[in-house]
Amino acid sequence: ALYHEQLINARFTKSFYKHILNIPVEVEDIQSIDPVYYESLKWILEHDIADMDLGLTFSVDKNVFGLTQVVDLVPNGRDVTVTEENKMRYVQLTTQLRMTSAIGAQIRAFLDGFHEFVSSTVVRMFDVAELELLISGTETIDVDEWEEHAAYSGGFTKESDVVRWFWDVLRNDWSQEQRAGLLQFATGCSRVPLGGFGELSGAGSKMPFTISRVGDDPARLPSTSACFNMLKMPEFESREQLKEKLEIAVTAGKEGFSFS
């Protein structure tokens, strides 16, 4: 996806991007995969446990094909009690095991393949937030910016009634979720690329979102050529008709094609 400048319709965890960038994970990263476990570790860090018998040792239980195995975090860890003095070390080691060591083989396999296309030197130019934008884009859709970078064909212009109704519906009637559905329907991806709508690509090169006029039958539903970021619509007779037909088309067709 990075190599061909295509977005992925997926949200990866922050720790996943850290592994790609070779950045150590932190206890806060557990929150995205196991909020309950994260709150337990957070409670330990925030409270004085000197006079508490929590029954914790430097070991954790691991489920392996239905069988529970005890994994030591340090040599003979099952015999080392977690105390107020060493609790930070316990949390660090637990986090390391949970987020890295336990999936080390899978991470290495992924990175071996990933680096065949994108070198580690290039990737490390970015931070976690920037890499996430490169891979998955942004969920926030700015209709004004979308309209600014749009193109028109087949007889439609920026001043055409259908075009004006279209942007008015997106801006005033539709939620972010509906806008994302339309973007998925028209381009194959529901997220906006890094750099905004001016960076939309299709068929191997930059290609703007285009609204194209096709036919005069107002009963026809909008359709798309997603490889070319093109939304095709007839000459609808009213704003209400456009909205109705567009909602039907997007709801029924947004999952029918995905370029990513």
How many Cα atoms are found within 13 Å in the side-chain-facing hemisphere of 89? 13
Q: What is the mean pLDDT of the chain?
A: 86
pLDDT value, residue 257:
41
Instruction: Tally Cβ neighbours within 10 Å of residue 167.
Output: 16
Using alpha carbons, select from 25, 33, 20 the residue that is nearest to residue 92.
25
Q: How confident is the model at residue 3 (pLDDT cuts 50, 70, 90)?
A: low
Check pLDDT > 90 for residue 12: no
User: Does residue 254 contact residue 185 with C-beta atoms inside 8 Å?
Assistant: yes
pLDDT value, residue 259:
38
Catalytically active residues are 227
- When mean pLDDT is compared across 30-39, 149-158, 207-216, the lowest value belongs to 30-39
Q: Tokens in use for 40?
A: 């337990």
Check pLDDT > 70 for residue 9: no
Check pLDDT > 80 for residue 195: no
pTM for this predicted structure? 0.55
pLDDT value, residue 253:
61
pLDDT in tens, 89-139: 999 999 988 888 878 888 899 899 988 888 888 888 888 877 877 777 777
Amino acid at 124: R
pLDDT value, residue 255:
47
pLDDT in tens, 142-171: 999 999 999 999 999 999 999 999 999 999
pLDDT value, residue 5:
64
Check pLDDT > 90 for residue 87: yes
pLDDT in tens, 44-66: 999 999 888 888 999 988 876 77
Q: Residues 166-177: what's their mean pLDDT?
A: 94
Query: Residue 202: phi, psi to the nearest 5?
Result: -165, 145
**DSSP states of the chain:** -TTTT---S----HHHHHHHHT----GGGGGGT-HHHHHHHHHHHHS--TT-----BSEEEEEETTEEEEEESSTTGGGSB--TTTHHHHHHHHHHHHHTGGGHHHHHHHHHHHHHHS-HHHHTTS-HHHHHHHHH-BS---HHHHHHT-EEETT--TTSHHHHHHHHHHHHT--HHHHHHHHHHHHS-SSBPTT-GGG-EETTEE---EEEE--S-TTSPPEEEGGGTEEEE---SSHHHHHHHHHHHHHHHTTS----
pLDDT value, residue 61:
84
Q: How confident is the model at residue 68 (pLDDT cuts 50, 70, 90)?
A: confident
pLDDT value, residue 252:
80
**DSSP states of 57-115:** BSEEEEEETTEEEEEESSTTGGGSB--TTTHHHHHHHHHHHHHTGGGHHHHHHHHHHHH
Q: Residues 234-253: what's their mean pLDDT?
A: 92
Q: Which residue did the predictor score with more confidence, 17 or 170?
A: 170
Check pLDDT > 80 for residue 210: yes
